[in-house]
Structure 1
Protein backbone atom coordinates (compact mmCIF):
# COMPACT_ATOMS: atom_id res chain seq x y z
CA UNK A 1 0.00 0.00 0.00
CA UNK A 2 2.61 2.53 -1.13
CA UNK A 3 2.33 5.59 -3.32
CA UNK A 4 4.45 4.84 -6.39
CA UNK A 5 7.41 7.18 -6.23
CA UNK A 6 5.67 10.51 -6.06
CA UNK A 7 3.04 12.85 -4.66
CA UNK A 8 -0.64 12.25 -5.31
CA UNK A 9 -2.17 15.61 -6.21
CA UNK A 10 -5.92 15.04 -5.89
CA UNK A 11 -8.40 17.01 -7.97
CA UNK A 12 -11.81 17.94 -6.59
CA UNK A 13 -14.43 20.35 -7.92
CA UNK A 14 -17.74 20.78 -6.09
CA UNK A 15 -18.34 19.15 -2.73
CA UNK A 16 -21.92 19.04 -1.48
CA UNK A 17 -25.15 17.09 -1.87
CA UNK A 18 -26.02 16.09 -5.44
CA UNK A 19 -28.23 13.74 -7.38
CA UNK A 20 -26.36 10.94 -9.11
CA UNK A 21 -25.14 11.90 -12.57
CA UNK A 22 -24.02 9.84 -15.55
CA UNK A 23 -21.62 12.43 -16.99
CA UNK A 24 -19.11 14.94 -15.59
CA UNK A 25 -18.81 12.83 -12.45
CA UNK A 26 -15.43 14.28 -11.53
CA UNK A 27 -17.06 17.69 -11.00
CA UNK A 28 -19.14 16.39 -8.07
CA UNK A 29 -18.25 14.82 -4.73
CA UNK A 30 -20.78 14.02 -2.03
CA UNK A 31 -19.82 15.81 1.18
CA UNK A 32 -20.19 12.64 3.26
CA UNK A 33 -17.82 10.75 1.00
CA UNK A 34 -15.42 13.66 1.10
CA UNK A 35 -15.46 13.59 4.90
CA UNK A 36 -14.71 9.85 4.98
CA UNK A 37 -11.93 10.28 2.41
CA UNK A 38 -10.28 12.93 4.57
CA UNK A 39 -10.72 10.73 7.65
CA UNK A 40 -8.93 7.93 5.79
CA UNK A 41 -6.01 10.25 5.03
CA UNK A 42 -5.88 11.34 8.66
CA UNK A 43 -6.01 7.83 10.10
CA UNK A 44 -3.94 6.13 7.43
CA UNK A 45 -0.65 7.91 7.97
CA UNK A 46 -0.83 10.15 4.93
CA UNK A 47 0.96 13.48 4.87
CA UNK A 48 -1.18 16.23 3.33
CA UNK A 49 1.06 18.91 1.86
CA UNK A 50 0.44 22.44 0.72
CA UNK A 51 1.36 23.13 -2.90
CA UNK A 52 4.40 25.09 -1.72
CA UNK A 53 5.53 22.10 0.35
CA UNK A 54 4.98 19.79 -2.62
CA UNK A 55 7.03 22.15 -4.79
CA UNK A 56 9.94 21.92 -2.36
CA UNK A 57 9.73 18.12 -2.46
CA UNK A 58 9.61 18.02 -6.25
CA UNK A 59 12.62 20.33 -6.44
CA UNK A 60 14.57 17.97 -4.18
CA UNK A 61 14.65 20.47 -1.33
CA UNK A 62 12.66 18.20 1.02
CA UNK A 63 12.09 14.45 1.17
CA UNK A 64 9.04 12.77 -0.38
CA UNK A 65 7.32 10.20 1.80
CA UNK A 66 5.46 7.17 0.47
CA UNK A 67 2.11 8.73 1.38
CA UNK A 68 2.26 12.35 0.35
CA UNK A 69 -0.96 13.96 -0.89
CA UNK A 70 -1.99 17.44 -2.04
CA UNK A 71 -5.65 18.52 -2.05
CA UNK A 72 -6.70 20.80 -4.92
CA UNK A 73 -10.13 22.24 -5.72
CA UNK A 74 -10.87 23.64 -9.16
CA UNK A 75 -13.07 26.66 -9.96
CA UNK A 76 -13.67 27.92 -6.42
CA UNK A 77 -17.27 26.99 -5.63
CA UNK A 78 -19.20 28.75 -2.90
CA UNK A 79 -20.04 25.37 -1.36
CA UNK A 80 -16.39 25.08 -0.29
CA UNK A 81 -17.16 27.24 2.75
CA UNK A 82 -19.92 24.98 4.02
CA UNK A 83 -18.73 21.50 3.13
CA UNK A 84 -14.97 21.53 2.71
CA UNK A 85 -13.48 24.05 5.13
CA UNK A 86 -14.86 22.45 8.34
CA UNK A 87 -13.48 19.05 7.34
CA UNK A 88 -10.07 20.46 6.50
CA UNK A 89 -9.96 22.33 9.79
CA UNK A 90 -10.96 19.20 11.71
CA UNK A 91 -7.86 17.42 10.41
CA UNK A 92 -5.52 20.39 10.04
CA UNK A 93 -5.16 19.84 6.28
CA UNK A 94 -3.96 22.52 3.85
CA UNK A 95 -5.63 22.91 0.46
CA UNK A 96 -5.19 24.75 -2.83
CA UNK A 97 -8.23 26.36 -4.48
CA UNK A 98 -7.81 27.43 -8.09
CA UNK A 99 -9.92 30.52 -8.80
CA UNK A 100 -11.30 31.85 -12.07
CA UNK A 101 -10.23 35.44 -11.61
CA UNK A 102 -12.82 37.07 -13.86
CA UNK A 103 -15.79 35.13 -12.45
CA UNK A 104 -15.53 35.69 -8.70
CA UNK A 105 -19.00 35.97 -7.18
CA UNK A 106 -20.69 34.80 -10.39
CA UNK A 107 -22.16 31.51 -11.56
CA UNK A 108 -20.35 28.69 -13.34
CA UNK A 109 -22.19 29.45 -16.55
CA UNK A 110 -20.31 26.83 -18.59
CA UNK A 111 -22.41 24.17 -16.81
CA UNK A 112 -25.44 25.43 -18.76
CA UNK A 113 -23.95 24.10 -22.00
CA UNK A 114 -24.51 20.60 -20.63
CA UNK A 115 -27.96 21.36 -19.25
CA UNK A 116 -26.71 21.41 -15.67
CA UNK A 117 -27.48 23.85 -12.86
CA UNK A 118 -24.95 26.65 -12.60
CA UNK A 119 -23.46 26.78 -9.09
CA UNK A 120 -22.21 29.97 -7.48
CA UNK A 121 -18.52 30.72 -7.30
CA UNK A 122 -16.75 32.29 -4.35
CA UNK A 123 -16.83 36.07 -4.14
CA UNK A 124 -13.75 38.18 -3.49
CA UNK A 125 -14.90 38.74 0.10
CA UNK A 126 -15.36 35.00 0.65
CA UNK A 127 -11.94 34.31 -0.84
CA UNK A 128 -10.31 36.77 1.55
CA UNK A 129 -12.18 35.17 4.46
CA UNK A 130 -10.92 31.72 3.47
CA UNK A 131 -7.43 33.13 3.08
CA UNK A 132 -7.58 34.24 6.73
CA UNK A 133 -8.49 30.64 7.60
CA UNK A 134 -5.30 29.39 5.95
CA UNK A 135 -6.63 28.28 2.55
CA UNK A 136 -4.22 28.76 -0.37
CA UNK A 137 -5.27 30.09 -3.76
CA UNK A 138 -3.98 29.80 -7.30
CA UNK A 139 -5.18 30.85 -10.72
CA UNK A 140 -7.53 28.84 -12.92
CA UNK A 141 -7.32 31.46 -15.67
CA UNK A 142 -9.37 34.60 -16.26
CA UNK A 143 -12.53 33.14 -17.79
CA UNK A 144 -12.23 29.32 -17.89
CA UNK A 145 -11.37 28.76 -21.55
CA UNK A 146 -9.61 25.81 -23.16
CA UNK A 147 -6.26 27.51 -23.30
CA UNK A 148 -4.59 25.33 -25.91
CA UNK A 149 -7.25 26.55 -28.39
CA UNK A 150 -6.62 30.28 -27.83
CA UNK A 151 -4.52 32.79 -29.75
CA UNK A 152 -1.40 34.23 -28.15
CA UNK A 153 -3.02 37.49 -26.98
CA UNK A 154 -5.92 35.69 -25.32
CA UNK A 155 -3.55 33.22 -23.76
CA UNK A 156 -1.46 35.99 -22.20
CA UNK A 157 -4.56 37.66 -20.79
CA UNK A 158 -5.96 34.43 -19.39
CA UNK A 159 -2.71 33.39 -17.76
CA UNK A 160 -0.97 36.62 -16.82
CA UNK A 161 -4.04 38.80 -16.40
CA UNK A 162 -5.63 36.35 -14.00
CA UNK A 163 -2.52 36.33 -11.85
CA UNK A 164 -2.46 40.10 -11.54
CA UNK A 165 -6.19 40.26 -10.77
CA UNK A 166 -5.97 37.62 -8.05
CA UNK A 167 -2.94 39.25 -6.48
CA UNK A 168 -4.99 42.43 -6.16
CA UNK A 169 -7.76 40.46 -4.43
CA UNK A 170 -5.46 38.49 -2.13
CA UNK A 171 -2.74 41.05 -1.48
CA UNK A 172 -0.11 38.36 -1.92
CA UNK A 173 1.81 36.62 -4.68
CA UNK A 174 -0.05 33.99 -6.72
CA UNK A 175 2.46 31.27 -7.61
CA UNK A 176 0.36 28.35 -8.78
CA UNK A 177 -1.78 27.76 -11.87
CA UNK A 178 -4.24 25.13 -13.08
CA UNK A 179 -5.24 24.57 -16.73
CA UNK A 180 -9.04 24.75 -17.25
CA UNK A 181 -10.35 21.44 -18.63
CA UNK A 182 -6.75 20.24 -18.45
CA UNK A 183 -6.21 21.94 -21.82
CA UNK A 184 -2.51 22.54 -22.30
CA UNK A 185 0.26 22.23 -24.86
CA UNK A 186 3.86 23.40 -24.98
CA UNK A 187 2.81 26.90 -26.09
CA UNK A 188 0.44 27.14 -23.13
CA UNK A 189 3.08 25.90 -20.72
CA UNK A 190 5.49 28.53 -22.06
CA UNK A 191 2.88 31.24 -21.43
CA UNK A 192 2.49 30.05 -17.85
CA UNK A 193 6.27 30.14 -17.42
CA UNK A 194 6.46 33.66 -18.84
CA UNK A 195 3.74 34.78 -16.42
CA UNK A 196 5.96 33.74 -13.53
CA UNK A 197 4.13 30.77 -11.99
CA UNK A 198 6.09 28.20 -9.99
CA UNK A 199 3.77 25.24 -10.67
CA UNK A 200 0.85 24.36 -12.90
CA UNK A 201 -1.39 21.32 -12.71
CA UNK A 202 -3.11 19.31 -15.43
CA UNK A 203 -5.75 16.57 -15.51
CA UNK A 204 -3.24 13.87 -16.47
CA UNK A 205 -3.58 10.87 -14.16
CA UNK A 206 -0.32 10.00 -12.39
CA UNK A 207 1.67 10.86 -9.27
CA UNK A 208 3.79 14.00 -9.45
CA UNK A 209 7.46 13.06 -9.40
CA UNK A 210 10.78 14.90 -9.25
CA UNK A 211 12.09 15.59 -12.72
CA UNK A 212 8.69 16.28 -14.26
CA UNK A 213 7.98 19.70 -15.70
CA UNK A 214 6.71 21.70 -12.73
CA UNK A 215 4.32 23.53 -15.07
CA UNK A 216 2.66 20.30 -16.27
CA UNK A 217 2.12 18.33 -13.08
CA UNK A 218 -0.35 15.42 -13.18
CA UNK A 219 -3.29 15.00 -10.84
CA UNK A 220 -5.84 12.34 -9.96
CA UNK A 221 -9.51 13.26 -10.29
CA UNK A 222 -11.83 12.11 -7.52
CA UNK A 223 -15.18 11.07 -8.99
CA UNK A 224 -18.69 11.23 -7.56
CA UNK A 225 -18.84 7.44 -7.50
CA UNK A 226 -15.66 6.88 -5.50
CA UNK A 227 -16.29 5.04 -2.25
CA UNK A 228 -13.38 4.43 0.12
CA UNK A 229 -12.15 1.47 -1.91
CA UNK A 230 -12.29 3.53 -5.09
CA UNK A 231 -10.50 6.38 -3.34
CA UNK A 232 -7.75 4.04 -2.16
CA UNK A 233 -7.55 2.56 -5.68
CA UNK A 234 -6.95 6.01 -7.17
CA UNK A 235 -4.27 6.73 -4.61
CA UNK A 236 -2.30 3.54 -5.04
CA UNK A 237 -3.18 1.87 -8.34
CA UNK A 238 -4.21 4.53 -10.87
CA UNK A 239 -0.66 5.61 -11.61
CA UNK A 240 -0.36 5.43 -15.39
CA UNK A 241 -1.33 8.47 -17.49
CA UNK A 242 -3.39 7.84 -20.61
CA UNK A 243 -0.73 9.54 -22.72
CA UNK A 244 2.82 10.80 -22.10
CA UNK A 245 3.17 13.85 -19.88
CA UNK A 246 4.26 17.02 -21.63
CA UNK A 247 7.51 18.69 -20.68
CA UNK A 248 9.46 21.57 -22.12
CA UNK A 249 12.76 20.24 -23.53
CA UNK A 250 14.72 22.83 -21.60
CA UNK A 251 12.90 22.65 -18.29
CA UNK A 252 14.38 21.41 -15.09
CA UNK A 253 12.81 20.74 -11.73
Structure 2
Protein backbone atom coordinates (compact mmCIF):
# COMPACT_ATOMS: atom_id res chain seq x y z
CA UNK A 1 0.00 0.00 0.00
CA UNK A 2 1.45 3.45 -0.91
CA UNK A 3 2.72 5.41 2.09
CA UNK A 4 0.38 8.33 1.27
CA UNK A 5 -2.64 6.01 1.42
CA UNK A 6 -1.43 4.53 4.72
CA UNK A 7 -1.10 8.01 6.23
CA UNK A 8 -4.62 8.96 5.11
CA UNK A 9 -6.08 5.76 6.57
CA UNK A 10 -4.31 6.27 9.88
CA UNK A 11 -5.26 9.95 10.04
CA UNK A 12 -8.90 9.16 9.28
CA UNK A 13 -9.04 6.51 11.99
CA UNK A 14 -7.47 8.87 14.52
CA UNK A 15 -9.92 11.62 13.62
CA UNK A 16 -13.01 9.45 14.14
CA UNK A 17 -11.67 8.21 17.46
CA UNK A 18 -10.39 11.54 18.79
CA UNK A 19 -12.22 14.04 21.05
CA UNK A 20 -11.73 16.67 18.29
CA UNK A 21 -13.40 14.49 15.67
CA UNK A 22 -16.31 13.55 17.91
CA UNK A 23 -16.80 17.20 18.85
CA UNK A 24 -16.75 18.42 15.24
CA UNK A 25 -19.17 15.73 14.06
CA UNK A 26 -21.61 15.97 16.97
CA UNK A 27 -25.00 17.17 15.72
CA UNK A 28 -23.96 16.95 12.07
CA UNK A 29 -24.64 14.31 9.45
CA UNK A 30 -22.71 12.41 6.81
CA UNK A 31 -24.62 11.57 3.63
CA UNK A 32 -23.07 8.83 1.48
CA UNK A 33 -23.74 8.41 -2.25
CA UNK A 34 -23.72 4.97 -3.89
CA UNK A 35 -25.12 3.63 -7.14
CA UNK A 36 -24.80 -0.12 -7.63
CA UNK A 37 -23.92 -3.29 -5.71
CA UNK A 38 -22.80 -5.91 -8.23
CA UNK A 39 -22.98 -9.66 -7.80
CA UNK A 40 -19.21 -10.04 -7.33
CA UNK A 41 -16.27 -7.89 -6.29
CA UNK A 42 -13.97 -8.74 -9.19
CA UNK A 43 -16.36 -7.06 -11.65
CA UNK A 44 -16.54 -3.96 -9.44
CA UNK A 45 -12.75 -3.61 -9.23
CA UNK A 46 -12.26 -2.42 -12.81
CA UNK A 47 -11.81 1.38 -13.05
CA UNK A 48 -14.72 1.97 -15.45
CA UNK A 49 -17.02 0.32 -12.88
CA UNK A 50 -15.20 1.29 -9.69
CA UNK A 51 -16.68 4.77 -9.21
CA UNK A 52 -20.30 3.66 -9.62
CA UNK A 53 -20.18 0.05 -8.44
CA UNK A 54 -19.22 -1.84 -5.31
CA UNK A 55 -19.11 -5.58 -4.81
CA UNK A 56 -21.07 -7.43 -2.12
CA UNK A 57 -18.02 -8.23 0.03
CA UNK A 58 -16.82 -4.64 -0.09
CA UNK A 59 -20.33 -3.36 0.64
CA UNK A 60 -20.68 -5.65 3.65
CA UNK A 61 -17.25 -4.55 4.89
CA UNK A 62 -18.41 -0.93 4.61
CA UNK A 63 -21.63 -1.61 6.54
CA UNK A 64 -19.77 -3.33 9.37
CA UNK A 65 -17.36 -0.39 9.58
CA UNK A 66 -20.17 2.17 9.54
CA UNK A 67 -22.06 0.38 12.31
CA UNK A 68 -18.90 0.40 14.41
CA UNK A 69 -18.22 4.13 14.09
CA UNK A 70 -21.59 5.78 13.34
CA UNK A 71 -25.27 5.75 14.11
CA UNK A 72 -26.78 4.63 10.79
CA UNK A 73 -30.01 6.60 10.41
CA UNK A 74 -32.61 7.42 7.72
CA UNK A 75 -31.92 10.50 5.60
CA UNK A 76 -34.76 12.49 7.15
CA UNK A 77 -33.27 11.98 10.62
CA UNK A 78 -30.26 13.94 9.43
CA UNK A 79 -32.34 16.63 7.73
CA UNK A 80 -34.82 16.83 10.66
CA UNK A 81 -32.79 15.87 13.73
CA UNK A 82 -34.74 15.11 16.89
CA UNK A 83 -34.06 16.39 20.37
CA UNK A 84 -31.97 13.37 21.38
CA UNK A 85 -28.38 13.53 20.18
CA UNK A 86 -26.08 10.56 20.35
CA UNK A 87 -22.42 11.07 21.10
CA UNK A 88 -21.66 9.16 17.90
CA UNK A 89 -21.71 10.84 14.48
CA UNK A 90 -24.64 10.00 12.19
CA UNK A 91 -24.47 8.62 8.67
CA UNK A 92 -27.08 7.81 6.03
CA UNK A 93 -26.87 5.89 2.74
CA UNK A 94 -28.31 7.13 -0.55
CA UNK A 95 -28.38 5.25 -3.87
CA UNK A 96 -28.81 7.01 -7.22
CA UNK A 97 -30.70 5.83 -10.35
CA UNK A 98 -32.72 2.85 -9.06
CA UNK A 99 -30.70 -0.13 -10.29
CA UNK A 100 -32.25 -3.57 -9.96
CA UNK A 101 -29.21 -4.79 -8.04
CA UNK A 102 -30.18 -2.41 -5.22
CA UNK A 103 -32.94 -4.91 -4.44
CA UNK A 104 -31.11 -8.10 -5.40
CA UNK A 105 -27.66 -7.49 -3.89
CA UNK A 106 -27.75 -4.41 -1.64
CA UNK A 107 -31.03 -4.87 0.24
CA UNK A 108 -30.26 -8.30 1.78
CA UNK A 109 -27.15 -6.78 3.36
CA UNK A 110 -28.99 -3.64 4.47
CA UNK A 111 -31.54 -5.95 6.08
CA UNK A 112 -28.87 -8.14 7.69
CA UNK A 113 -27.26 -5.17 9.41
CA UNK A 114 -30.46 -3.11 9.78
CA UNK A 115 -29.03 -0.11 7.97
CA UNK A 116 -31.65 2.22 6.46
CA UNK A 117 -31.18 3.71 2.99
CA UNK A 118 -32.78 6.07 0.50
CA UNK A 119 -32.97 5.21 -3.21
CA UNK A 120 -33.50 7.95 -5.78
CA UNK A 121 -35.24 6.73 -8.91
CA UNK A 122 -34.89 7.85 -12.51
CA UNK A 123 -38.58 7.16 -12.86
CA UNK A 124 -38.87 6.60 -16.63
CA UNK A 125 -36.66 3.52 -16.21
CA UNK A 126 -38.64 1.93 -13.37
CA UNK A 127 -40.73 -1.00 -14.56
CA UNK A 128 -39.51 -0.59 -18.15
CA UNK A 129 -36.83 -2.09 -20.37
CA UNK A 130 -35.34 1.35 -20.94
CA UNK A 131 -31.60 1.24 -20.32
CA UNK A 132 -29.01 3.52 -18.77
CA UNK A 133 -26.63 4.73 -21.50
CA UNK A 134 -23.50 4.52 -19.33
CA UNK A 135 -23.99 0.84 -18.60
CA UNK A 136 -25.10 -0.12 -22.11
CA UNK A 137 -22.35 1.75 -23.95
CA UNK A 138 -19.66 0.90 -21.41
CA UNK A 139 -20.28 -2.83 -21.34
CA UNK A 140 -20.67 -3.04 -25.11
CA UNK A 141 -17.37 -1.22 -25.62
CA UNK A 142 -15.76 -3.43 -22.99
CA UNK A 143 -16.73 -6.45 -25.07
CA UNK A 144 -19.14 -7.95 -22.55
CA UNK A 145 -21.63 -8.70 -25.35
CA UNK A 146 -19.16 -9.89 -27.98
CA UNK A 147 -16.93 -8.38 -30.65
CA UNK A 148 -19.55 -7.78 -33.35
CA UNK A 149 -21.76 -5.49 -31.20
CA UNK A 150 -18.60 -3.72 -30.01
CA UNK A 151 -17.43 -2.95 -33.54
CA UNK A 152 -20.91 -1.81 -34.57
CA UNK A 153 -21.09 0.64 -31.67
CA UNK A 154 -17.59 1.95 -32.44
CA UNK A 155 -18.78 2.75 -35.98
CA UNK A 156 -21.84 4.56 -34.59
CA UNK A 157 -19.66 6.60 -32.23
CA UNK A 158 -17.38 7.59 -35.12
CA UNK A 159 -20.45 8.88 -36.98
CA UNK A 160 -21.24 11.29 -34.14
CA UNK A 161 -17.63 12.45 -33.99
CA UNK A 162 -16.53 10.43 -30.96
CA UNK A 163 -13.89 7.93 -32.14
CA UNK A 164 -12.63 5.45 -29.59
CA UNK A 165 -9.23 6.29 -28.03
CA UNK A 166 -6.26 4.23 -29.19
CA UNK A 167 -5.59 3.11 -25.61
CA UNK A 168 -8.83 1.11 -25.69
CA UNK A 169 -6.71 -1.55 -27.40
CA UNK A 170 -4.13 -1.60 -24.57
CA UNK A 171 -3.28 -5.14 -23.47
CA UNK A 172 -3.21 -4.03 -19.81
CA UNK A 173 -6.73 -4.56 -18.44
CA UNK A 174 -6.60 -1.80 -15.85
CA UNK A 175 -5.22 0.81 -18.28
CA UNK A 176 -7.84 -0.16 -20.84
CA UNK A 177 -10.59 0.09 -18.23
CA UNK A 178 -9.31 3.50 -17.05
CA UNK A 179 -9.33 4.74 -20.65
CA UNK A 180 -12.93 3.58 -20.99
CA UNK A 181 -13.85 5.40 -17.79
CA UNK A 182 -12.48 8.71 -19.11
CA UNK A 183 -14.09 8.13 -22.50
CA UNK A 184 -17.52 7.50 -20.97
CA UNK A 185 -17.17 10.65 -18.89
CA UNK A 186 -16.50 12.61 -22.09
CA UNK A 187 -19.74 11.29 -23.63
CA UNK A 188 -21.79 13.14 -21.01
CA UNK A 189 -21.53 16.23 -23.23
CA UNK A 190 -23.47 14.53 -26.04
CA UNK A 191 -27.09 15.51 -26.54
CA UNK A 192 -29.58 13.24 -24.73
CA UNK A 193 -31.11 12.19 -28.05
CA UNK A 194 -27.69 11.10 -29.34
CA UNK A 195 -27.04 9.07 -26.20
CA UNK A 196 -30.47 7.46 -26.51
CA UNK A 197 -29.83 6.49 -30.15
CA UNK A 198 -26.43 5.07 -29.27
CA UNK A 199 -27.97 3.04 -26.45
CA UNK A 200 -30.50 1.61 -28.91
CA UNK A 201 -27.57 0.34 -30.99
CA UNK A 202 -26.37 -1.80 -28.07
CA UNK A 203 -27.54 -5.39 -27.55
CA UNK A 204 -30.56 -5.82 -25.32
CA UNK A 205 -29.76 -7.54 -22.04
CA UNK A 206 -31.94 -10.42 -20.91
CA UNK A 207 -33.16 -8.53 -17.83
CA UNK A 208 -34.17 -4.90 -17.24
CA UNK A 209 -31.46 -2.85 -15.57
CA UNK A 210 -33.78 -0.92 -13.25
CA UNK A 211 -36.12 -1.81 -10.43
CA UNK A 212 -39.81 -2.36 -11.13
CA UNK A 213 -42.61 -0.80 -9.08
CA UNK A 214 -43.38 -4.08 -7.32
CA UNK A 215 -39.80 -4.17 -6.03
CA UNK A 216 -40.04 -0.52 -5.02
CA UNK A 217 -43.17 -1.16 -2.97
CA UNK A 218 -41.67 -4.29 -1.38
CA UNK A 219 -38.54 -2.43 -0.30
CA UNK A 220 -40.62 0.45 1.01
CA UNK A 221 -42.81 -1.96 3.00
CA UNK A 222 -39.71 -3.26 4.78
CA UNK A 223 -39.43 0.05 6.64
CA UNK A 224 -35.71 0.25 5.83
CA UNK A 225 -35.90 1.98 2.45
CA UNK A 226 -37.54 5.18 1.23
CA UNK A 227 -37.60 6.59 -2.28
CA UNK A 228 -37.22 9.95 -3.94
CA UNK A 229 -36.91 11.24 -7.53
CA UNK A 230 -33.67 11.39 -9.52
CA UNK A 231 -35.15 12.91 -12.63
CA UNK A 232 -37.50 11.13 -15.00
CA UNK A 233 -35.24 10.49 -17.99
CA UNK A 234 -31.98 11.22 -16.10
CA UNK A 235 -31.46 14.24 -18.35
CA UNK A 236 -28.99 16.83 -17.01
CA UNK A 237 -31.38 19.44 -15.63
CA UNK A 238 -29.16 22.46 -16.27
CA UNK A 239 -29.25 21.71 -20.02
CA UNK A 240 -33.07 21.80 -20.29
CA UNK A 241 -35.16 24.80 -21.21
CA UNK A 242 -37.83 25.92 -18.75
CA UNK A 243 -40.63 23.88 -20.30
CA UNK A 244 -38.65 20.63 -20.47
CA UNK A 245 -37.29 21.22 -16.98
CA UNK A 246 -40.81 21.61 -15.63
CA UNK A 247 -41.93 18.45 -17.44
CA UNK A 248 -38.95 16.47 -16.12
CA UNK A 249 -39.54 17.54 -12.53
CA UNK A 250 -43.31 17.06 -12.69
CA UNK A 251 -43.14 13.64 -14.32
CA UNK A 252 -40.66 12.28 -11.79
CA UNK A 253 -42.54 13.77 -8.83
CA UNK A 254 -45.89 12.38 -10.01
CA UNK A 255 -44.42 8.92 -10.63
CA UNK A 256 -43.20 8.77 -7.02
CA UNK A 257 -46.54 10.02 -5.68
CA UNK A 258 -48.31 7.26 -7.63
CA UNK A 259 -45.78 4.50 -6.98
CA UNK A 260 -44.87 4.99 -3.31
CA UNK A 261 -46.73 5.43 -0.06
CA UNK A 262 -44.24 7.87 1.50
CA UNK A 263 -42.00 9.45 -1.14
CA UNK A 264 -39.21 11.58 0.25
CA UNK A 265 -39.49 15.39 0.04
CA UNK A 266 -35.97 15.34 -1.40
CA UNK A 267 -34.91 15.67 -5.03
CA UNK A 268 -31.64 14.22 -6.31
CA UNK A 269 -30.03 16.01 -9.26
CA UNK A 270 -28.95 13.72 -12.13
CA UNK A 271 -25.16 13.87 -12.36
CA UNK A 272 -25.30 16.33 -9.45
CA UNK A 273 -25.71 19.29 -11.85
CA UNK A 274 -27.78 22.27 -10.66
CA UNK A 275 -27.84 26.06 -10.80
CA UNK A 276 -30.03 28.82 -9.36
CA UNK A 277 -32.75 28.29 -12.00
CA UNK A 278 -32.91 24.53 -11.39
CA UNK A 279 -32.95 24.95 -7.60
CA UNK A 280 -35.83 27.42 -7.85
CA UNK A 281 -37.82 25.04 -10.06
CA UNK A 282 -37.16 22.17 -7.66
CA UNK A 283 -38.43 24.31 -4.76
CA UNK A 284 -41.49 25.30 -6.84
CA UNK A 285 -42.29 21.60 -7.24
CA UNK A 286 -42.59 21.27 -3.44
CA UNK A 287 -39.15 19.86 -2.69
CA UNK A 288 -37.57 21.63 0.29
CA UNK A 289 -34.38 19.56 -0.05
CA UNK A 290 -32.20 18.36 -2.90
CA UNK A 291 -29.03 16.28 -3.10
CA UNK A 292 -26.00 17.32 -5.09
CA UNK A 293 -22.56 15.78 -5.37
CA UNK A 294 -20.54 18.46 -3.59
CA UNK A 295 -18.47 17.09 -0.72
CA UNK A 296 -19.02 18.09 2.88
CA UNK A 297 -20.75 17.54 6.21
CA UNK A 298 -24.38 18.56 6.62
CA UNK A 299 -24.80 20.77 9.67
CA UNK A 300 -28.19 22.29 8.90
CA UNK A 301 -26.83 25.69 7.87
CA UNK A 302 -25.92 24.99 4.23
CA UNK A 303 -28.28 25.39 1.26
CA UNK A 304 -30.96 22.68 1.68
CA UNK A 305 -31.27 22.53 -2.12
CA UNK A 306 -27.59 21.62 -2.51
CA UNK A 307 -26.99 18.98 0.15
CA UNK A 308 -23.43 17.61 0.19
CA UNK A 309 -22.57 13.92 -0.09
CA UNK A 310 -19.51 11.70 -0.05
CA UNK A 311 -19.30 9.31 -3.00
CA UNK A 312 -18.49 5.68 -2.24
CA UNK A 313 -16.52 3.67 -4.81
CA UNK A 314 -15.35 0.08 -4.67
CA UNK A 315 -11.96 1.32 -3.47
CA UNK A 316 -13.59 3.35 -0.69
CA UNK A 317 -15.81 0.47 0.40
CA UNK A 318 -12.77 -1.80 0.62
CA UNK A 319 -10.85 0.83 2.59
CA UNK A 320 -13.43 2.83 4.59
CA UNK A 321 -10.66 4.49 6.60
CA UNK A 322 -10.12 6.52 3.42
CA UNK A 323 -13.70 7.67 3.80
CA UNK A 324 -12.96 8.85 7.34
CA UNK A 325 -10.06 10.88 5.93
CA UNK A 326 -12.44 12.57 3.46
CA UNK A 327 -14.92 13.19 6.28
CA UNK A 328 -12.13 14.82 8.25
CA UNK A 329 -11.34 17.09 5.29
CA UNK A 330 -15.01 17.85 4.73
CA UNK A 331 -15.62 18.71 8.38
CA UNK A 332 -13.04 21.47 8.45
CA UNK A 333 -14.45 25.00 8.64
Tell me what 2:133 maps to. 110
Distance 1:88 1:99 in 2: 18
Q: Which residue, 126, 140, 148 being the options, matches 2:238?
A: 148
Q: Deviations over 1:157-215 (max 9, x none)?
A: 22222111111011334411110101111111111111111321111111112211111
Q: Which has the higher helix share?
A: 2
Distance 1:238 1:75 in 2: 24
Matches within 5 A, 1:127-146: 127-134=216-223, 135-146=225-236
CA displacement at 1:141 relative to structure 2: 0.8
Tell me what 2:73 maps to. 49
- TM-score, length basis structure 2: 0.66
Distance 1:115 1:236 in 2: 31
Tell me what 2:108 maps to. 86
Distance 2:217 2:272 in 1: 26
Distance 2:244 2:274 in 1: 14
Q: Deviations over 1:91-147 (max 9, x none)?
A: 221110001111102343322574336771000111111111121001001110111
SS at match of 1:210: coil
CA pair 147-26 structure 1, distance change in 2 beyond 3 A: same
CA pair 174-160 structure 1, distance change in 2 beyond 3 A: farther
Tell me what 1:101 maps to. 123
Tell me what 2:296 maps to. 206
Distance 2:118 2:281 in 1: 21
Distance 1:201 1:218 in 2: 7
Higher-Rg member (1/2): 2
CA pair 147-62 structure 1, distance change in 2 beyond 3 A: farther
Tell me what 1:186 maps to. 276
Q: Which residue, 35, 52, 57 being the options, matches 1:13?
A: 35
CA RMSD, Structure 1 to Structure 2 (Å): 2.2
- TM-score, length basis structure 1: 0.85
Q: Is the 8 A contact 2:44 2:55 kept in 1?
A: no
CA pair 22-203 structure 1, distance change in 2 beyond 3 A: same
SS at match of 1:188: helix
Q: Is the 8 A contact 1:167 1:174 kept in 2?
A: no
Q: Give the gaps of 5 or more residues in structure 1.
A: 242-253
* Greater mean alpha carbon deviation, residues 66-75 or residues 16-25: 16-25
- Report how many residues are paired: 237
Tell me what 1:27 maps to. 52
CA pair 24-188 structure 1, distance change in 2 beyond 3 A: farther
1:171 equivalent in alignment to 2:193: no
Q: Is the 8 A contact 2:126 2:211 kept in 1?
A: yes
Q: Deviations over 1:63-108 (max 9, x none)?
A: 4755210100111111112211111112221110001111102343
